[in-house]
């Protein structure tokens, strides 16, 4: 698909971003990170942060949670590991290089999966969301915060124009809500709980999915098949 991102390109892009990432994207994405952490902590327990990057969010989680962070980029993760040591983040149980599309965890291993500014940076967002839903316990939540592409107007035109360059920088600016909504409807085992605009400029969204139990998933699948 012309739309797709290449994993090697992404890894190279974030190896380049790693030394300057906090300076460029630290403050600007802070409100979204904090909002997603607040949402995750309403559930609490075992939290998986996917695409944890340089670990900017890690000091903001309450010490009562147990955290694991994974990321495709070793250079980004090295920064996260240094942060854990520097701030003595004893609530972080582990950080590992891992592809979000093939999570090395058992089914229902976590209470919450958080992915901040990640879902439009992975090669296959639908496979990634499938993995998120697989590793969540029934009653748990998937919490995303992300830029979403405009449906129409000047911003949509700009995002389409910018898309090719953005691929090389490691994300898809034109990625729309519709694609996530279609995934949720097809999956059947999740329910959209919230979609809330986020700064900067409200071009970002906080999205929460609840993981349904087996019976509710079967009902949803039956309804989708009708
Ligand atoms: C825009 S950064 C966000 C980093 C961090 N979550 C934050 O809030 O600053 C996107 C992150 O997703 C990671 N990433 C991209 N594709 C990935 C994949 N397939 N599996 C795991 N991480 C991935 C990148 O390496 C990068 O660290």
Q: Which residues contact 61 (CB under 8 A, 6 or more apart)?
A: 37, 40, 41, 47, 67, 91
> Is the model's pLDDT at 3 over the cut of 60?
no
- The single-letter DSSP state of residue 91 is T
Least confident of 78-87, 125-134, 143-152, 213-222: 213-222
Going by CA atoms, what residue is nearest to atom 25 of ligand 1?
73
**How far lies 148's CA from each of 103, 125, 173, 222, in Å?**
24, 13, 7, 30
Q: Which of 71, 135, 204 to mutate to test the pocket of ligand 1 (most atoms within 8 A of CB)?
A: 71
The single residue listed with the structure tokens 């309403």 is 42
> Is the model's pLDDT at 40 over the cut of 70?
yes
Tokens at residue 19, please? Answer: 């030394």
The single residue listed with the structure tokens 């600016």 is 173
Q: What is the pLDDT of residue 1?
A: 40
Tokens at residue 158, please? Answer: 């700009």
Ligand 1 center to 76 CA (angstroms):
8
Angle at 137 between CA 132 and CA 138, to 5 degrees: 110
* The overall pTM is greater than 0.85: yes
- The single-letter DSSP state of residue 141 is E
């Amino acid at each position: 698909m012309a739309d797709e991102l290449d994993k090697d390109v992404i890894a190279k892009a974030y190896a380049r971003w790693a030394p300057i990432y906090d300076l460029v994207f630290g403050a600007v994405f802070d409100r979204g990170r904090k909002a997603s952490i607040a949402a995750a902590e309403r559930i609490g327990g075992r939290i998986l942060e996917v695409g944890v990057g340089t670990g900017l969010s890690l000091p903001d989680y309450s010490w009562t949670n147990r955290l694991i962070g994974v990321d495709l980029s070793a250079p980004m993760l090295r920064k996260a590991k240094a942060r854990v040591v520097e701030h003595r983040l004893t609530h972080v149980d582990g950080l590992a290089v891992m592809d979000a599309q093939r999570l090395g965890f058992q089914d229902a291993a976590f209470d919450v999966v958080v992915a901040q500014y990640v879902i439009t940076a992975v090669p296959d967002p639908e496979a990634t969301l499938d993995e998120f839903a697989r590793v969540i316990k029934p009653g748990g939540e998937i919490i995303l915060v992300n830029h979403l592409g405009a449906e129409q107007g000047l911003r949509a035109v700009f995002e389409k124009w910018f898309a090719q360059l953005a691929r090389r920088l490691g994300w898809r600016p034109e990625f729309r809500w519709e694609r996530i909504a279609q995934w949720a409807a097809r999956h059947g085992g999740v329910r959209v709980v919230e979609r809330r605009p986020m700064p900067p400029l409200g071009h970002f969204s906080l999205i929460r999915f609840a993981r349904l139990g087996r019976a509710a998933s079967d009902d949803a699948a039956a309804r989708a098949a009708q």
